[in-house]
Structure 1
């Protein structure tokens, strides 16, 4: 009889809590995670260093979307694109599969997740699609990623989710409830545009709603989709317009609990260049600037967080992945490019054979 597979052996160790407790330092400090597609149509999650060099590849059964990194162990969770039925837990030392998470019956993943500050729990955005409720799944990451429950996301269509630390050191979860109801039987069709109402919800780690932002009625069709958190706890959010084409509406905003939102570049005609679509959003490391990518518009826009003015616009075909760096931003494209943007100047770092997907996830 053949012995157990390496994957099975690792999954068994993980489930019993006996897996070796390595750290990110064992990897030589990878900087980013990104889903991608190979030239022959296979999907994967890759780990990259700060120059864009690929350090590991992990095959995925279908198209990926985003990922999240464990705060201390060299593990990452790669999430399927909505409506997804898998989330792969990966050993980032070698790209090996540790386990695969499957949502409960009647749920699907929405493409994002985040760990608790100590790494003991994983929170996932989900759709309970028979009634359209947004849910946050809870997984025990200290016991083999066992499912231990879920609670309300605060709205319909929860997409991105981030851990926020307030200036006084308190933690909560921020959820981008896009407001769009979907059902797997209808693919990615939007079923409730006549009544959709996105919101930004702040949840305690235990579940109760602590605060919520609902935009004005004229922004009701601007689906809040993606999030970034500054070092001081300010939330940046990117939206995707679901109304008629050609509307010159803001696509990025800033928010702090208990205050009114601030929408960036409200009167700038260059907003139309985003084509109503914010793909990824990120703060610069110092929190002075916020950037958004639009693969539909083929542009990156960078705004000043104090004035709200649009500072720079950079043209780049099929750009979507984005994160802040010490000197600006780094972006990825569907053509495999990895580039930096500093003071509005685009510098190409390199190009791979992969078509990079929506998000470039920094490793803490």
Structure 2
């Protein structure tokens, strides 16, 4: 039995083992986009002790990145409604390829590689049709665009490869947008978010929707546990007086479980979960809120809050063997409930773990 005291101690002590496949660039454990003091943008590699191992310039604000499972190579995505994604050799900062969303499309800031690294999947918006698309890029042919299929909904944001290596899970946020309208949300009264499981060939295997009363709860970000459990973080688009759950757990073939902290702590999240991650050897799940300056950690089996922490502009979160690693818009980097390094950077929303052992 893991006690509360032992678990809290583990949160402060956690770190990730280095990934040998990335040793040529200082063995980073994470990737994150950031903004420099001069207003320029970059992608950085971070170790589990908060050290920066490399930085690569970006032409505009980044959002998330995808780490190649074998090579020290990453794809950095523009923030919605951006149309660029840069394939970068992280050893020397060389831009190997600039991916441009097809005409009539934009990226949503996320992507995922196949298990062998041969294919890149990107979440995209066909904004004239108002439909979500998953783009396919052949990595072995210099990231040539080779196809696409439906995301199973509107506004696909985050996308993850499932542990079976044969399917994807997509967070269809349900929000229709158009680049001519900037970041405006065009269909809030009728939005219908869903969680879609899709084969790598493009067939929808399963879809999960929330109850009608929660149709304004946009499913945005994902984390996947080794047993295939999916955690999804949500952002409420309804009245500020309402405070629906912002965290869900799902396994295929089952009903989703929604989790919330006690009311006062839950309302401190201000209806916005920015990132989500598993931790504590898969026994914990956590969400962050940069609006509320909150990180909340939940026991999965008990489906209850374990601990919360107030930290200004916290958003990036990723897994560690027994805990979590965080970044903030104020430049802090470090383990949950432990001392953190300060960098002269504004870390963006997401912290991507490099999990390759190659």
1:328-347 matches, cutoff 5 A: 328-341=323-336, 346-347=337-338
User: Corresponding residue for 2:350?
Assistant: 359
1:107 maps to 2:105: yes
1:69 to 63, 67, 78: 67
1:200 to 195, 198, 210: 195
1:302 & 1:284 partners in 2: Cα distance? 9
SS at structure 2 position matched to 1:245: coil
| Displacement over 4 Å in runs of 4+ | none
Deviation at 1:23, TM superposition (A): 4.0
1:136 & 1:30 partners in 2: Cα distance? 28
The answer as to whether partners of 1:249 and 1:266 remain within 8 angstroms in 2 is: no
Compare relative contact order (CA 8 Å, sep 6+) and give the higher one, 1 or 2.
2
TM-score by length of 2: 0.92
**Cα deviation code 1:334-357 (max 9, x no counterpart):** 11001211xxxx212301111000
2:234 & 2:292 partners in 1: Cα distance? 14
1:300 maps to 2:295: yes
Deviation at 1:307, TM superposition (A): 1.3
1:230 & 1:238 partners in 2: Cα distance? 14
The alpha-carbon distance between structure 1 residues 170 and 38, as it changes in their structure 2 partners (threshold 3 A), is closer
2:335 & 2:148 partners in 1: Cα distance? 39
2:181 to 183, 186, 189: 186
Structure 2 unmatched runs, 5+: 1-19
SS at structure 2 position matched to 1:323: strand
The answer as to whether partners of 1:246 and 1:272 remain within 8 angstroms in 2 is: no
TM-score by length of 1: 0.90
Q: What's the Cα RMSD here?
A: 1.3
1:1-364 matches, cutoff 5 A: 23-165=21-163, 169=164, 171-265=166-260, 268-341=263-336, 346-364=337-355
The answer as to whether partners of 1:155 and 1:199 remain within 8 angstroms in 2 is: yes
**Cα deviation code 1:184-239 (max 9, x no counterpart):** 00000000011100000000011000000000011100000000001111000000
Q: How many residues align?
A: 336
The alpha-carbon distance between structure 1 residues 302 and 105, as it changes in their structure 2 partners (threshold 3 A), is same
